[in-house]
A and B are shown apart, each in its own frame.
Chain A
Amino acid sequence: MSELERLRQLLLGDELRSVAHIEAELQQLQERLEYPERLIEHIAPHFSKMLVDASTQEHAAFEHAVVCALNTLVEHGSKASYEPVIKKISPLIYRELHNYTITHKEDVSDLLYPVVGGMISKYVSQMLQDMMNDINAKIQHGLSIQNIKRKIQAKVQGIDEAELLLYESLPVHVKAVLLIHKPMGAIIAHRVDKGNHINEPEMVGSMLTALTDFINNWIHQQEQFRDVNEINYGESKIYLESSGHSYLAVLLDGQTTQDVVTATNEVLTAILDHYATDIQEFDGDLSSIPTHDIETLFTPLFALNQHKPAKDQPPSKWPLAIIAFLLLTLGAWSYYTHYKKEHFQAMIATRIQNNPHLALYAISTSWQDNTLVIEGKVPNAKLNDELFNTLMTKKFPYDIDNRVLVLKPLEDYAKSKRLIAKQIAVLNSDPYTNLTYDVTNGTVTITGEATSPQRLQQAADIITELDAIKHLYINVAYTKSRQHSLYFKNGASAIDKEHAPLLERIAAHLEQYPQTHLGVIGYSSPSKNLLQNRRIAKKRAQNVTDALIALGVSPQRITTRWMAQPPLFHENNNSASQCVKFYWYNTVQESE
C-alpha cells in the first residue's frame, strides 16, 4: 500500500466502506431488476400484506384502484393481455357458479326468472298467438271443404273439433327425409333441413328397415299384415310411407298432420312415377340411381316448414270453385227452364195453329211468371171451348190462363159484312186458296178454289151464326193438298234448288196479302241428342227465313221458331220430320 493510499484510508476510510457497501447493494438491486422473479420473491410477502392492509384500511381507494385497473385492461388491453386472465378466472367462476347453483337452486331460479322466464313466456305467448290466429282463421273460413271434412272427422272419431283444430295448428318441422330401399335397407337418397344433421344415414336406414321388418313380421304372425307407419322418439317422430320396394321416412318435430301425410304420399308417388324401375332393380350401385333428382322431389315436404299463420295464407280456392260450380249450375238451370218454357209456348202456338177453327183468329201467347197467358178474341163460346179442349189434352207443367174473349153476336149488317170479309181474307192467306165472296140482301155467296174444306167449313159456321145473314152458298172447287213444308235430307239444313218454287210462291203470296204474316218453324228428327236436334232445327228455320228475306219479304212479317223434335203426327217418321213448316197469321183486327 502506498503512502497515498494509506493517507486515503485514514482520511476517507468510513466513506469508502460506505460507498463499497452501497455499490454492492446497488448491484444486488440491478440483478433483481434484471431477474423479476427474484424481485417478486422478495416483494411478494410484503405486497400481499400491503394489499390486505390497503383493502381493509383503505377499502374505497383500493376498490377504485382495482376497478380502474380492470377497466383499463378491458378497454385498452389487447386480446393477448386479458385472455390469459380470463382463462385463469373462467374455471373459477364456472366452478363457483356451479356450486352455488346446486346449493342455492331456489335463489338462482328467482334470480334468473325475470330474464329466462320472460323469454320463455314471450316465446310461448307468440306460439299460442300464432296458433290462435290459425284456429280463428280456420273457424272464419267455416264454409271451406277442409272445415266440413274436419267436422265429419270429429264426428266419426268422436273427438272435439277444437281438439282437431289445435292438432292441425301445431307447427311441424320436417328435419330430414330419407328414401330407403326396402329390401336392402339402403339409403337411396336423403336430404336434411338447414341446421339439422343425421349421423350415418345408412345406419339409420338399415335400422329402420330392421325395426319395421321385425314389427311387421311379428304382427303378421300374430294378427294381420300392416306396415309400421310411425315411430316416436321424444318430441320427434319418424313417419314412414311404404310402397313396393321403398320406404319414405320423414323425420319431424311436431304432429303428423294431414298435410304431412298428404305431402309424403304425393312425394312418394312422384318418386315412383319416375323411378320405380330404378328402385326395383337397385343392387347397391348408387350410380344407377339419380339421387339428386330424387332429392329434389322431397321439396314439398320441406315446404311444410314454411308454415305461416292462416291469416297470411291465400284464401282456399275451394269456396271459389264451389261458387263457380253453383253459378254454372244456376246458369244451366236458368237456361233449361227458359228453354223448357220456350218449347212449351211454341207447342201451344203450334196446337192453336194446327186447329183449323182456331187458326183463323189472332190468338197470342205470353208469359207472366210461370203462367202462360193466352189472349185473343173468338166470335163464339163454342170456339172458346174448342180452344180450351185443344190446350187441355193433357196435364201441363205450367199453368195456363185463358184470357180469350168471346165476342157478342153481331147484328149490324155492315159489321157482319166486315167480319165475312176478314174470314175470306184469312182463308185466302193460304197461298193455294183463292176465294171471292158476295153479300147481297142477307145472302152470302163464296166462290173460287181452296185446299182445306175444314177451314172453309169453319168459316161458314161463323158466317151462318151472324144474325144479319140469312143464307150462305158455297161454290168452291177443292184442290189437292199442296205442299206447306220444305223437307231436308238427314242432318242437312242448307236451302237447295228444290226448295226454290215454294219459297218464291210464299214470297209472292205475302206480297199480294200485305196483312198476312208468316210463321216459319224448323223441326228435326228425334234420332240425335236434344242439343244437336235443336241446332239443326234452328239452322233450317233461319236458312228458310233468310231465303225469304232475300226474295223481298220484310223480316217484320216473319216469325221464326224452331223445335228440337218432329212436327205433330210425324214423331216416328224420320224423313217427314226433317222439315220447315209454314203458318199464316192474319193480322186483321176485328172492330167492335
Chain B
Amino acid sequence: MKKYIKKILLIGNHGVGKTSLATRYVENKFSDAYLSTIGVNIMKKNLILNDQGNVAAVALMLWDVEGANKNQNVPLHYAKGCNAFIVVIDATRPQTAENLQQHLEYIHNFDVAIPFIIAINKSDLGSTVTLDEAAFQQKYSNCVGIVYTSAKEDKNVEELFTRITKRTIW
C-alpha cells in the first residue's frame, strides 16, 4: 500500500464554518489558539482510500486558515506546497458566495491546475445559496465538485474530504 502525506487548505470568509467542518472530520488538532495567534490551525486525519482496487494510506494535513474578508485574502505563504483547496461558503449567507469569485481567483493565481472543491456549509439550516456544479466544472477543469455539508449534523463531511483527497492522488 502506498503512503502519502497531503496538504489541503480550507479557505473562505470568516464564520462560514471552516473550523467546524475540519474539527468534525479530524482526530487530532492543535489548540484553536493558534488560529487567532498566527492565523492558521493545523489538523490531521489518517485515511485509507480505495479507488478501483488501488489502496492508499494518507496522512491528510488540513490547514484551517483564518477567514478572509472582502479586502484581504489568505496569506500566500500558507498555500505553499498544498495539494488542494476546499472553498467553504455559508449556505445561509449569500454574501459569502459573492466572494467565491475572489477565492477562485486566488486559487487560479496560485496554481491554475490545482484541484479545489466547494463546500456549501450549514445546509441543515436551509440553503439560500444554489450553485450549478456542472457549470462550475465546465468552467474550471480543476473543480472537483460542489458539496452541501453540515458540520453540525455531520452531513456529507466525509464525502467532502474524501473526494478532494482522492483527486490529489488519482
Interface residues of A (CB under 8 A from B): 181-187, 200, 202-203, 206-207, 210-211, 213-214, 216-217, 283-287
Does B118 touch A at the CB level, under 8 Å?
Answer: no
Residues of B within 8 A of A213 (CB): 77-78, 80
Task: List 26 A-B residue pairs with CB atoms under 8 Å apart, sorted by A's residue number.
Answer: A182-B81, A184-B61, A184-B83, A185-B81, A186-B7, A186-B59, A202-B44, A203-B30, A203-B42, A206-B7, A206-B63, A207-B30, A207-B42, A210-B38, A210-B63, A210-B78, A211-B38, A213-B77, A213-B80, A217-B75, A284-B6, A284-B7, A285-B2, A285-B4, A286-B4, A286-B5
- Out of A187, A210, A216, which one reaches B5, CB within 8 Å? A187
Indicate if the CB atoms of A217 and B2 lie closer than 8 Å: no
Residues of A within 8 A of B77 (CB): 213, 216-217
How many angstroms between the C-alpha atoms of A203 and B83 in the bound complex? 16
Residues of B within 8 A of A184 (CB): 5, 7, 61, 80-83
How many angstroms between the C-alpha atoms of A1 and B76 in the bound complex? 116
How many angstroms between the C-alpha atoms of A303 and B34 in the bound complex? 35
Indicate if the CB atoms of A210 and B42 lie closer than 8 Å: yes
How many angstroms between the C-alpha atoms of A202 and B7 in the bound complex? 11
Residue of A183, A200, A206 ringed by the most chain B CB atoms within 10 A: A206
Indicate if the CB atoms of B34 and A207 lie closer than 8 Å: yes
Residue ID in chain B nearest A207 by CB atoms = B42
How many angstroms between the C-alpha atoms of A226 and B87 in the bound complex? 32
Q: Shortest beta-carbon distance, B105 to chain A, in Å?
A: 21
Q: Shortest beta-carbon distance, A186 to chain B, in Å?
A: 4
Residues of B within 8 A of A206 (CB): 7, 42, 44, 61, 63
Indicate if the CB atoms of B61 and A185 lie closer than 8 Å: yes
Indicate if the CB atoms of A183 and B30 lie closer than 8 Å: no
Indicate if the CB atoms of B168 and A284 lie closer than 8 Å: yes
Does B74 touch A at the CB level, under 8 Å?
Answer: no
How many angstroms between the C-alpha atoms of A304 and B4 in the bound complex? 32
Q: Shortest beta-carbon distance, A187 to chain B, in Å?
A: 7
Does B3 touch A at the CB level, under 8 Å?
Answer: yes
Does B39 touch A at the CB level, under 8 Å?
Answer: yes
Residues of B within 8 A of A185 (CB): 7, 42, 61, 81
How many angstroms between the C-alpha atoms of A285 and B40 in the bound complex? 24
Q: Shortest beta-carbon distance, B41 to chain A, in Å?
A: 9
Does B28 touch A at the CB level, under 8 Å?
Answer: yes
Q: Shortest beta-carbon distance, A137 to chain B, in Å?
A: 45
How many angstroms between the C-alpha atoms of A207 and B29 in the bound complex? 10
- Out of A181, A183, A207, A286, which one reaches B3, CB within 8 Å? A286
Residue ID in chain A nearest B83 by CB atoms = A284
Residues of A within 8 A of B40 (CB): 210, 214
How many angstroms between the C-alpha atoms of A211 and B39 in the bound complex? 10
How many angstroms between the C-alpha atoms of A203 and B44 in the bound complex? 7
Residues of A within 8 A of B6 (CB): 284
Residue of B34, B42, B78, B168 ringed by the most chain A CB atoms within 10 A: B42
With contact pairs A186-B7, A213-B78, A284-B168 given, residues A203 and B28 touching in the complex (Cβ less than 8 Å): yes
- Out of A182, A186, A216, A287, which one reaches B61, CB within 8 Å? A186
Residues of B within 8 A of A203 (CB): 28, 30, 42, 44, 61
New A-B contacts (9) at CB < 8 Å, excluding given A185-B42, A186-B81, A211-B38:
A200-B28, A202-B5, A202-B44, A202-B61, A206-B42, A216-B77, A217-B77, A286-B2, A287-B2
How many angstroms between the C-alpha atoms of A169 and B7 in the bound complex? 42
Indicate if the CB atoms of A284 and B38 lie closer than 8 Å: no
Residue ID in chain B nearest A188 by CB atoms = B5
With contact pairs A202-B61, A203-B30 given, residues A283 and B42 touching in the complex (Cβ less than 8 Å): no
Indicate if the CB atoms of A284 and B80 lie closer than 8 Å: no
Q: Shortest beta-carbon distance, A417 to chain B, in Å?
A: 110
How many angstroms between the C-alpha atoms of A75 and B27 in the bound complex? 50
Residue of B3, B38, B82 ringed by the most chain A CB atoms within 10 A: B38
Contact with A along B27-66 (1 / 0, CB 8 A): 0101000100011101010000000000000010101000
Indicate if the CB atoms of B44 and A183 lie closer than 8 Å: no
Residue ID in chain A nearest B39 by CB atoms = A214
Indicate if the CB atoms of B61 and A214 lie closer than 8 Å: no
Residues of B within 8 A of A186 (CB): 5, 7, 59, 61, 81
How many angstroms between the C-alpha atoms of A181 and B82 in the bound complex? 11
Residues of A within 8 A of B34 (CB): 207, 210
Q: Shortest beta-carbon distance, B19 to chain A, in Å?
A: 15
Residues of A within 8 A of B5 (CB): 184, 186-187, 202, 284, 286
How many angstroms between the C-alpha atoms of A211 and B30 in the bound complex? 13
Q: Shortest beta-carbon distance, A197 to chain B, in Å?
A: 15
How many angstroms between the C-alpha atoms of A202 and B29 in the bound complex? 11
Residue of A183, A202, A211 ringed by the most chain B CB atoms within 10 A: A202
Residues of A within 8 A of B63 (CB): 206, 210
How many angstroms between the C-alpha atoms of A213 and B39 in the bound complex? 11
Q: Shortest beta-carbon distance, B118 to chain A, in Å?
A: 22
How many angstroms between the C-alpha atoms of A477 and B40 in the bound complex? 114
Q: Shortest beta-carbon distance, A556 to chain B, in Å?
A: 87
Residues of A within 8 A of B61 (CB): 184-186, 202-203, 206
Residue ID in chain A nearest B3 by CB atoms = A286
How many angstroms between the C-alpha atoms of A182 and B7 in the bound complex? 12
How many angstroms between the C-alpha atoms of A284 and B115 in the bound complex? 15
Q: Shortest beta-carbon distance, A205 to chain B, in Å?
A: 9
Residues of A within 8 A of B168 (CB): 284
Residues of B within 8 A of A283 (CB): 83
Q: Shortest beta-carbon distance, B4 to chain A, in Å?
A: 5
Residues of B within 8 A of A207 (CB): 30, 34, 42
How many angstroms between the C-alpha atoms of A66 and B75 in the bound complex? 75
Residues of B within 8 A of A187 (CB): 5
